[in-house]
Structure 1
């Protein structure tokens, strides 16, 4: 696989606690040639005990830790979460791995920034708040046994299957010249300004059920902002804030009336 593509794809483990599972992930990354591992955790796991990380010491040594998903994906233009689905009520577009891999590679091939693959904890997967940072989700189709309510895969196995599919799918994509997507940190900046506008207009107070942080983030991600779009929209939002704080006065200094009256 093209090393440049592999360098742009990062594996993000969220709340992974078992060092051997982390070691298995590192081994899969090493075997398929993906160097960048990021770990979101409140404490640094004892990676030196990860006996399953055969030949993957460099991946573990260079792994970066973060305290939040937002920080871990700040430099990424596409964030894809993984889920076994089960009985979860999904609020994102869901793609099977075979279809998702081509879209991930296309983004990686057409962006100077990175693509993040998020994997949740061994027990609970990704929370709704963590999923709110994702543009869309992928799942690995599995055979459903009658005696199993929710078929799922070991963390190390899931990462290995996803990375194998990316390697296998590389030949099927082409460089289609997409515009560069906005980085996650820029989307978060826009989201903060958007919330500020909603607060100044009174929308937050009038419709509190519509402005939960996770809900607004999903709305913004569905806009598909590009790197060129963000400064334009930020300018629009700042102009709106300035106008609102001027008390609705027009250029002549006269108070404007509500057009709905």
Structure 2
């Protein structure tokens, strides 16, 4: 399944901030088909200023009922916080629903209910399955915008990264670490800190300590520059105060 064949359907959403947050999450994860069900158009109009969500909101469609909104979908997942409702559908944890959604060959719809009541029994009747986001004990429900973001992240997280990840910095070489250890020893001696613990640690302990720092090549250069400055300052002749 490509993101082009995934539809996010917000049923009876009333808070424009939630609609805007949902649209922004869709934009972040490459989903563009937003569908709103309900008689209230105010949330859509008021949400059009949501940051980075303009294209999604501009293309959003409104429907009078769920049947119209999912008419072209072969798999419809409804979201639920479970609660004490007697559910007549198979319920998947989000992590288990994700593979089913990704494996679908035709259009898939994710239904999210209103902020206060969730999906009604009538709206749930259009769903093939339900999914729920695992929460800590005591968690009642999740904010609509957050729920959309979490669901889309789970669906998208196995996709190849769209941006080039930065390369890991080069680790310091052994010869660089040896020079660093030598300079550190020299600085400790100038400060007379090598006469007591832990400044008087043995060579093996010092070597192990430095390697636990996991310094990069660039970090080693910076630290040696600072140690040289400290060493230079320690070796300056003291000036008597007048």
- Does the alignment reach a TM-score above 0.5? yes
Q: Which residue of 2 aligns with 1:244?
A: none
Q: 2:50 aligns with which of 50, 53, 57?
A: 53
- Structure 1 unaligned segments of length 5 or more: list them: 172-261
Query: Does structure 2 conserve the Cα–Cα contact (< 8 Å) formed by 1:105 and 1:170?
Result: no
Query: Who is 2:7 aligned against?
Result: 10
How far did 1:168 drift? 1.2
2:147 is the alignment partner of 1:165: no
Alpha-carbon distance in structure 2 between the residues aligned to 1:138 and 1:98:
9
2:152 & 2:42 partners in 1: Cα distance? 23
TM-score by length of 2: 0.63
Q: Secondary structure at the match of 2:78?
A: strand
Q: CA deviation at 1:151?
A: 1.7
- 1:201-220 equivalences under 5 Å are none
CA distance change for structure 1 residues 59 and 103 in 2, over 3 Å: closer, same or farther?
same
Instruction: Give the whole-Å Cα distance in 2 for the aligned partners of 1:69 and 1:48.
Output: 20
The 1:46/1:156 distance shift into structure 2, 3 A limit, reads closer
Match of 2:25 among 28, 32, 50: 28
Partner Cα distance (1:46, 1:133) in 2: 24
* Separation (CA, whole Å) in 1 of partners of 2:158 and 2:43: 34
Offset, 1:125: 0.2
1 CA distance for matches of 2:45 and 2:126? 30
Residue 48 (structure 1) shift: 3.7
Q: How does 1:75-114 map to 2 (within 5 A)?
A: 75-107=72-104, 111=105, 113-114=106-107
Shift of 1:44: 1.4
- Residues 24, 52 of structure 1: 8 Å contact kept: no
Cα distance in structure 2, aligned partners of 1:52 and 1:144: 36
Q: Deviations over 1:154-195 (max 9, x none)?
A: 000000000000001457xxxxxxxxxxxxxxxxxxxxxxxx
Within a 5 Å distance, the mapping from 1:170-209 to structure 2 comes to: 170=159
CA RMSD in angstroms comes to 1.5
Deviations 1:27-69 (A, max 9, x none): 1001111000000011312434227721111100100000010
Within 2, Cα distance between the matches of 1:128 and 1:48?
28
Cα 1:163/1:52, change in 2 over 3 Å: farther
Aligned pairs, number: 160
Change (3 A) 1:71 1:135: same
Q: Residue in 1 aligned with 2:126?
A: 133
1:5 and 1:83 map into 2 onto residues whose CA distance is 24
1:80–1:118 CA contact under 8 A, matched in 2? yes
- Distance of 2:19 and 2:43 partners within structure 1: 10
Partner of 1:238: none
TM-score, normalization by structure 1: 0.59
